Amino acid sequence: MADRRIVHVDMDAFFAAIEQRDNPALRGRPVIVGADPKGGRGRGVVSTCSYEARRFGVRSAMPISEAWRRCPQGVYLPPDFERYDAASKAIRAAFYEFTPDIEQVSIDEAYLDITRSAHLFGGPLETCRRIKARVKELTRLTCSLGLAPTKLAAKIASDLKKPDGLVVVEPEQLVAFLAPLDISRIGGLGPKTAAVLREKGINTIGELAACDIVRLAFLGQNAAYLKLLATGVDDRAVAEEAGVKSVSNEITFETDTADAGEIKASLLALADKVSSRLREDGLKGRTVTLKIRLQGFETYTRARTLTVSTNYADVIGREILALYADFQKGGKRVRLLGVRVSGLMPAGEKESLFEDEGDARREKAHQAIDAIREKFGQASIYRAGGKKEI
């Protein structure tokens, strides 16, 4: 493991940086990409924001109303995912010029294993410099890199000198690098677990590493794993994820709602949209998940795994409505709803030797709907009980 050279690449304020790149008038100004703030009464959250906006305390995933309160003079823009995706693809192509071992974590973040290829570019440090230069050449965007023997250390390092940073952790420095850092730096260690660790006097990664495993019994099966990470032992490989893992859609209501009709219509519309996207991508899935956020931002998920995979809107809608009916809201209103289908496989792959007659009729109906939407647009036809657009 000590011989590995892992790079974590994190694009700097990616969405906002693209907006500033494409519109010079936005450079140097606080740019917030996300939901419409509506003068501080908006719903939804911040997708990302420029470093100028961060000086006002604005952060990703912050409620857009709070962002407006902190920075009313900001430039608020809706996301343009087509442009962002085009930039992401160009960046990914640049990575392949340096190594075939790439793990794309998100649209603006990736791990690269340059262990086998760094010698071709003048060594690990020079390879990192070239990666940064190539990304900037292709996209006119900056990125921050962390170079380390492990994925955990590389990710932490990439975050230390943003924007446009490069932090190197040599193998012999690994344990000393991790030791003084706060335990919240460990990916996968959530705030609740961190709070319990702090109550026990464990605040840094070094303190966690030195802790007796018996004292960490409350962490359950994660105890040994987290302790290993804290001691610098992290043998996770940079692994290319195969294909899309899930398809989902969400809606944030203008005002928190308890209207049963509006909630049902929204869930059916979301199910319809997820179904349409699955069919466009030639996929079907077995696990249907409901996401629900209540007033006060309490967020829950409920899931159900089907016996046979599906991409049919009526099946997804039926399961989602059942999950919602079983959910106890405690009298609270609903702020956000989401529908996700995961456990994906190719739509043409058979799971049973016997084709249900109802499924055959369903498929014909869905094919007719697909054809109408392809010719006249997504909003040209929608299902009874659902919203026309969402």
- Which residues are the active-site residues? 109
Residues in the chain: 390
d(CA 76, CA 37): 7
Residues 306 and 317: their CA atoms lie apart, in Å, by 13
Distance, CA of 15 to CA of 49 (rounded, Å):
7
Q: Which residues of 278-298 are buried (b: 16+ CB within 10 A; e: fewer)?
A: bbeeebbbbbbbbbbbbeeee
Check if the beta carbon of residue 71 is closer than 8 Å to that of residue 32: yes
Q: Are 264 and 390 in contact (CB under 8 A)?
A: no
Q: How far apart are the first and last CA of the chain?
A: 48
Helix and strand element counts for the chain (H, E): 13, 12
Beta carbons within 10 angstroms of residue 243's beta carbon: 10
Give which of 145, 152, 196, 197 is closest to 177, Cα–Cα: 152
